[in-house]
Amino acid sequence: MAQLSLFLVVLLALIIPIFMARFQISNVPTAVAEIIVGIIMGSSGFNLVTSTHDLTFLSNLGVILLMFLSGMEIDFDLLQRRNNPKGKSQAGKTVDPLKTALTAFIGVVVMALILAYVLKLVGLFSEVMLAGIILMTVALGVVIATLKEKDILERPIGQTILLTAVFGEVIPLLLLTIYASINGGNAGQLWLIILLFLAAIFLLRRFKQPYLWFAKVTKATTQLDIRLAFFLIFALVTVAERVGAENILGAFLAGMVMKLLEPSEATKDKLTSIGYGFFIPIFFIMTGVGLNLRSLFAHPYALMLLPVLVIFLLLAKLPVVLTFMRFFEKRNAFAGGFLTATTITIVLPTLQVARKLHAITSTQSDAFILAAVIVCIVSPIIFNSSFVLTKEDKIKQRVSIVGANVFTVPVAHDLHDNWYSVKMFTNKKDRYETYDSRVKNLTFLPDLNKDTLEKAGVFDCDILVASNHDDQDNVKIARLAHEEGVKRVIVRLSEVSGDMVEEFHEKNIEVFNFTNVHAALMRAMIESPTVYRIMTDTKNVLYSVKVKNTYYTGRQLMDLEFIDQITISRIRRGDEWLIPHGSTVIEPGDVLVFSGEFKTADKVRDLLSHGQ
């Protein structure tokens, strides 16, 4: 019977996504479908699958990998205010995703604790802290998958929903650890949890350089990047258990450390394949198997608790809707609030911890799980049916150009408005008076001191171009921009010394030198006039794009539906350049250099650059 149960669970993990794809069931998350099938096959249904030692082990490993991959989902750039771009919402207001999400989640915390206290007052659930944690959680994985499907991850509302979900996963997890330490008799060891973070920082500092080396020497038979990932998981899970914290916190921290190591897209795909391809589906299916609905519905108490929990899980996210309505179109704000009500991924580990601590009965646990399943089915359906994708501007790359002159002004005009938001600055009064009427967003700077530049918002950008006529000014601005953490810094220099080139190379500051550029263009005109025409053509454009959309990965170039409308010149894969052929297979993270007409090239760049 034990072997049959294992076989059936693995078979179900294979069949469920095939069934959903065949019948085009896209509104229900796969995790929820797996729980529902587990309920049908377990003690609540046909009783064909029972919990065994092997399935329990695989299920526990599944929840650890689920938390690890959830940690890897966090985009730390979004949590840094300087790298947190503002954009225009559909309501036409400027939105700061980080500030809006934080405000919304603070409201969620307050509402969750109020509702948890109400549960205690009416005698349905006495653990206020535990109920509050469950009510404030958000399923980050489900939210990301839904936002990707709608293709709004890079829009202001998409990033705001995503950040709200990040808070809804990280904060409850930390509160759960504190709750478990206090109720598990380890309150005196609570300070030891700091060791977890110290261990995570140590591992990050220790393995950053080795990881880069691992990525170069890894082979199909060694897979050093995957071995390192599992080492991080078990190292931090072990430390977590030794200091009295929960192993899921250790796994989550391991995922955050792995994310900070900046693994390649191929590494992420392999880890996701291992987790969601085998272990995590077993965890969700066994969660459904463990639910005893017959016992649940036999208790009048449970029948009263279930609808109340469903309503409270939705009400807890009411502050999200109210906050979003201040910045976004009301219909989409309502849809975004419903999406953040999805709670399944953190609720399950939380209830697992609560049962270990005997802080919750089996009936109460089943009621919470079933309520989370119901909400997880309803929320994405309401979101997908309510959200209307408009032609609002995407969050563009923000470019700051310091220096207004005959070279930079045409560049600012020519940068594609669909992709870039350009601000120009000058410290020359005569240049400001000359170009103010011709250049949008031109700002006069009284001087080039750090405080002045910061106050003017020069460093609030993704790309900074220092292009004054004075090399010393440009070098100074470039160094300051690097110190302020600007992602890309481009410095224009008339004369370049070897020491300066070496310094800028170490700091990843890009040098633009007129002499070299003019010589390269002249050589291109002589040797390859066609290439020169492509570079200077006003009807066509030359683009490079990093492939993030997994729909186009694993496919040959000849199979792409738009391949006859563009010309792919080169493919950058890691540290090497590939010559493209029709049979060349695109891999995640490949950088394609291609040319084509503006409208077509824009469409192709948009398709390839969006994650799927």
Q: What is the pTM of this model?
A: 0.63
pLDDT at residue 89, as a whole number: 47
Q: Does the pLDDT of residue 174 top 50, yes or no?
A: yes
Q: Token digits for 239?
A: 């430390």
**Lowest mean per-residue pLDDT among 145-149, 250-254, 335-339, 584-588:** 145-149
- Read off the amino acid at residue 58: L
**Lowest mean per-residue pLDDT among 31-45, 284-298, 423-437:** 284-298
Which structural domains are found in the chain, ordered by start? 84-386 (1.20.1530.20), 397-521 (3.40.50.720), 538-609 (3.30.70.1450)
Q: Does the pLDDT of residue 104 top 90, yes or no?
A: yes
**Lowest mean per-residue pLDDT among 242-246, 413-417, 504-508:** 242-246
Adjacent-strand bridge partners of 595: 542, 567
The total number of residues shown for the chain amounts to 612
Query: What are the phi and psi torsion angles at 249 (to 5°)?
Result: -65, -40
Q: Are 347 and 372 in contact (CB under 8 A)?
A: yes
pLDDT at residue 106, as a whole number: 95
Burial class (CB in 10 A: 0-12, 13-18, 19+), 49: buried
Residue 32 DSSP code: H
Tell me the average pLDDT of the chain.
79
- Which of 507-543 are b and which e, b meaning 16 or more Cβ less than 10 Å from the residue's Cβ? eebebbbeeeeeeeeeebeeeeeebbebbeeeebbbb
Q: pLDDT tens digits for 362-392?
A: 888 888 888 888 888 788 888 878 887 665 5
Q: How far is CA 374 from CA 28, 57, 313, 367, 508, in A?
A: 10, 27, 10, 11, 50
H or E stretch covering 421: strand 420-426
The pLDDT of 341-361, averaged and rounded, is: 78
The pLDDT of 77-105, averaged and rounded, is: 64
Burial class (CB in 10 A: 0-12, 13-18, 19+), 569: middle
d(CA 337, CA 549): 26
pLDDT at residue 394, as a whole number: 53
Q: pLDDT tens digits for 505-564?
A: 888 888 887 666 666 666 666 766 666 666 666 566 677 888 877 778 878 888 888 888
Q: Between residues 348 and 449, which one has the greater pLDDT?
A: 449
pLDDT at residue 395, as a whole number: 57
